[in-house]
Amino acid sequence: MKHCVLLLVLGSVLVVHAQETTGFRGDMMGQLEYAQGQVMQLENAIPQAKMSWRPAPGVRSIGEAYLHIATGNYFLAKFMGAQVPAAMNFASPAEADKWERSITDKKEIAEQMKKSFDFLKETITAMTDESLEKKVDFFGQQMSVRSMWLTTLSHIHEHLGQSIAYARSNGIVPPWTAAQQTPEKK
């Protein structure tokens, strides 16, 4: 019996090791996890009452900006050949915009963002190094899947920056900055 357990444990370790993501894919996984951590921390710091705040009429609200990150995660992965969940496979940008405006509950916004980041991480893990070199058409521009990953990460950071500005406009300090400032106040 002990031998069977040992074999199961060793087999599990080998499977996990074989599934490790390395090279560019590993780097991208690390970047996605870092960006997700910051986006999720900031969303968590925003009170429900501020999720509908927008800097001007016709501009995305705080909650809509977070949901735009989620729709972007699915939308850009679709260009890389990922099978997007049916509920997130919008037929047009207008349909995605409508969805972004339809959710106002802070917990649901966080859940949708988490699902989208999990989807991206599953997508990069499932890819091979060779698949990163495949050429895709992105609105008339030919680029590699590797470049699409960089575009995806840029999109996330673009709207993280927007979200930081929105938070600060409402007197909310990003949690990672607040943590650094706390020792200075003592």
For 56-94, what is each residue's pLDDT tens digit? 999 999 999 999 999 999 999 999 999 999 999 888 889
Question: What confidence tier does 2 reach under pLDDT thresholds 50, 70, 90?
Answer: low
Residue 134 has pLDDT above 80, yes or no: yes
Question: What confidence tier does 10 reach under pLDDT thresholds 50, 70, 90?
Answer: very low
Of 2 and 65, the structure prediction assigns the larger pLDDT to 65
Distance CA 57, CA 111 (A): 26
| Average pLDDT rounded to a whole number, residues 141-151 | 97
Q: pLDDT at position 184, please?
A: 59
Q: pLDDT at position 13, please?
A: 44
Which one, of 70, 120, 79, 123, lies nearest residue 99 by Cα?
70
Domains assigned to the chain: 25-171 (1.20.120.450)
**What is the number of other CB atoms lying within 10 angstroms of the CB of residue 21?**
16
For 29-49, what is each residue's pLDDT tens digit? 999 999 999 999 999 999 999
Task: Give the tokens for residue 90.
Answer: 């919008």
The torsion defined by the Cα of 107, 54, 91 and 37, in degrees rounded to 10, comes to -50
Contact (Cβ atoms closer than 8 angstroms) between residue 109 and residue 103: yes
Question: What confidence tier does 22 reach under pLDDT thresholds 50, 70, 90?
Answer: confident
Global confidence as pTM? 0.85
What value does the mean pLDDT of the chain take? 89
Q: pLDDT at position 99, please?
A: 95
For 107-118, what is each residue's pLDDT tens digit? 999 999 999 999
